[in-house]
Structure 1
Amino acid sequence: MFSRRFDASSFSKSFSKSTRHSRSTSFSVKDAGVSKRRPSESRRRPGTSSGSVADSSDVTLDNVISPIVTLIVGPDQRIFAAHENVLAKSPFFQSILQNQLLEAQTKKILLPDEEPEVFSAVLEYLYKGEYYPRLIFNKKRNTWELEQEADGGRAEATIHHHEVEGELLKDTAIYCAAEKYGLEELKRIALRKQGLQCGIQASTILTSARYAYAHTPDTDSKLRAHYLALIIRSRNTFKRSGTMQLEMFNGGTQLFFDLFVALCNHVDDISAAASSPRSPRSGRVF
C-alpha cells in the first residue's frame, strides 16, 4: 500500500495512495483543515504594526510549533501525517500528545506494531467518521451491506498482516486497533462489517479469530462471540477442515474452550426445543 520509508525531508507530504484498492484513503492539506499560511505570518511581536519588523530574537524555531504530527507506522516505517486535533479524538493519541516530549518542529509518534493499511482506515475514520468500504443500508432487504466499486466489484476483505505472517480479515484488525486507540464508535462500525464479505477461507477465519482473542480483553466478548457463532453456523465446513483439525490439536488458546462451551449450549438449545411440548393449534382435534 505504501512504499516510502521514513525520511525527514518528506515530513510535509501527507498519506501515500493505497495499492490494495482503487479507492484512495489519503487526505490532502485542505481535507485536514490545515491552513497553508506560514506560521511567521500569524506570529508577530505584540505591539508592532503590520509594517514593522519584529526583533529576530523574538521569532525562533522554538516558538513555531506545527500542529501536524508525523506517524511512522509498521516495520517498514511508512509515513502518515495528521493534525493533532484530529488525533486527539483518540484517548490513546491524546495522552501521547499531552505527555510525550515531542520535538517542536517535527512531532513524531512511532507505531512499529501497527499495520499501515489498518492505520489508514483508522485515520480515515478520525477525519470522516467512516472507513472504506462504507456501510449502506438496503431498505428493500432491511439489511446492512458494503458499498461496491463503480465497476460492481468489492474491496478486498483481507490484508497481509506482518504479525501473523499471513492473511487476516481487515475489519477484525480494525476492530482490534479501535480497541487499542479507545474508539468505541469505530469498534461498532467494524463489528457490523464482520461477516459481510463472502468466500473467506476457513484458515483465514481461524487466524482472524485467534488474532481477535489475542487483541481484545476478556471483558469485550462481542467480536469473540461473532467468531464462535460463525464457526458453529459453518460447522459442516470446519469439521472437514484440516486447518481446523490442526488448530484443535495444537490448542493453547481460550478460543477453543469457548467454542466447546458454545457448541454444548447450541446442542442443549436444540435438545430443549425438541423435548418441549408443542402448543396445540387452534381448531385442531387430537
Structure 2
Amino acid sequence: MKTGGYERDPVLERLPGLSSCGDAHDPAAASFALLSFNRFIRSFPLVGFLLSLLCLYTWMSLVYFLLRSMGGSSMIFKNRSFTSKHHRAGKSSRSSRKVREGHKKAKMQKESACPPPKRRVLCFHMVSLIVGREQRMFVAHEDVLSRSPFFNVVLKDQFVGDNPERVLGLPEEEPELLSCILEFLYKGDYYPRLIHNKAQDAWELEDAKQDFSIPDGSRSSSSEATFFHPGTGGLILRDTAVYCAAEKYGLGELKHLALRKQGLQSGIPIDVILRSARYVYDNTPDSEYRLRAHYLAMIIRTRDIFKDSGTMQFEMEMGHPIFFDLFVAMCNHLDDLEEMSMNH
C-alpha cells in the first residue's frame, strides 16, 4: 500500500508507538515520540532528576572551560579591579603580595648596607681661661662665653673643630674683673648686686652702709667700692673698671649696670676718683662719653673740695687729657650759669 510516494510496513503499523525510518520527518510521529518520552519521565521521576543534574553539570563544565580559556576565572571574578580610568585592571593579589615582599626585602637589604645615622648629642664644651700675670684659671661654658662678641670671635678663630683642649690665655686681664664678667654672663649681675629697697622705693647696693658724713644721710657706700689695680698702682673704683671691661668685651647691658652702680657710691677719696678718671680715659675710645661725662660732672659739682686738694694740683701739673675736657666742661657750666642769671 503506497501513500505519499512510499510504502508503509504493515507490521510496524500494527505496533503502537513504532514506525519505520521513512517516518522520521513526519510531524505526527515526532509529536508522538515526545509524548512517549514525557510519559516515560512521569513514570520514572528519579531518572528525570538525574538527567537534569547531568545536563547542569555539563553546562557548568562548558562555562568553566570557556572562562579558563579567556584568562582565568580568578582574575575576572576576584582580582579584577579598576583603580582609575587610566588603568584597566589591577594586579592580582598574589602578584601584589610578591611585589610588596620584594620591595620590603630590598628595603631591608638597603638599610643593612647603609649604617644608621648618628644621633646628635648636645655637647657643652668647657673653656679654660688663664688670666693675669699670676695665671689664675677660670672655667666657663663655651656657649656662655659666646654671648660676648669679643669671646665669640676669639673662640671661632682659635677653636676649630672638636678640639678637646680648649684653653684661652688672657695675660693682660685682671682676674677680679674677669670674675665680674663671668658672674654677669651667668647671673645677669655682679657683686655687689643692685637691689630695690621697697620701703624707700629706691635702688641700693648689696651690703651697703649708710654714709653719715653727708648731711642728709641719704647716700650709701659699699665696702666693695674699690679694688687694687696693678696697672694703675693704686685703688680705683670697681664699677669703673667693670665698665671699661664691658666696653672691651662688647657688653652694653653691663656698661649700663656699672654706670648705675657707680652713681650710688659715695665717700670716695679724691685720689681714687682722679685715678679712676685717668683709667677711664686710658681704657676707653674717644667716642665714649658717658662715663667720662660722669666724672667731669662729679668734679664740677664738688669743685669746692677739689680746688683745695693737693692731689688735684699734682695731677694737673702732670697733665692729662682729662683736664682739658674738665676745663671745657667748667667753661660751659659757667656759661650756663650766666645765661640763667640773665634770664632771671
What TM-score does the superposition give when structure 2 sets the normalisation length? Answer: 0.59
1:191 counterpart (259, 265, 269): 259
Letter in 1 for 2:139: A
CA RMSD of aligned residues (A): 2.5
SS in 1 for 2:263: coil
Q: Distance in 2 between matches of 1:106 and 1:235?
A: 54
Q: Distance in 1 between matches of 2:336 and 2:197?
A: 32
1:182 counterpart (235, 238, 250): 250
SS in 2 for 1:92: helix
Partner of 1:261: 328
Deviation of the 1:210 alpha carbon: 0.5
1:112 counterpart (171, 181, 191): 171
Partner of 1:81: 139
- What pairs with 1:69-218 in structure 2 (closer than 5 Å)? 69-101=127-159, 104-139=163-198, 141-148=200-207, 154-218=222-286
Q: Does structure 2 retain, via aligned residues, the 8 Å contact 1:169–1:204?
A: yes
Q: Distance in 1 between matches of 2:208 and 2:294?
A: 27
SS in 1 for 2:235: strand
SS in 2 for 1:70: strand
Partner of 1:275: 342
Which structure: larger Rg?
Answer: 2
CA 1:149/1:244 → structure 2, altered by over 3 Å: closer, same or farther? closer
Q: Distance in 2 between matches of 1:262 and 1:149?
A: 32
Q: Does structure 2 retain, via aligned residues, the 8 Å contact 1:66–1:105?
A: no
- What pairs with 1:25-104 in structure 2 (closer than 5 Å)? 67-101=125-159, 104=163
What TM-score does the superposition give when structure 1 sets the normalisation length? Answer: 0.70
Letter in 2 for 1:134: R
Aligned residues: 216
Deviation of the 1:100 alpha carbon: 1.4
Q: Does structure 1 retain, via aligned residues, the 8 Å contact 2:144–2:186?
A: yes
Partner of 1:220: 288
Letter in 1 for 2:285: P
Higher relative helix content: 2
Deviation of the 1:104 alpha carbon: 2.0
Higher relative contact order (CA 8 A, sep 6+): 1
1:241 counterpart (309, 330, 337): 309
Q: Does structure 1 retain, via aligned residues, the 8 Å contact 2:130–2:137?
A: yes
CA 1:212/1:153 → structure 2, altered by over 3 Å: closer, same or farther? closer
Q: Distance in 1 between matches of 2:343 and 2:116?
A: 87
Deviation of the 1:123 alpha carbon: 0.3
Percent of aligned pairs sharing the same letter: 56
Q: Distance in 1 between matches of 2:221 and 2:252?
A: 29
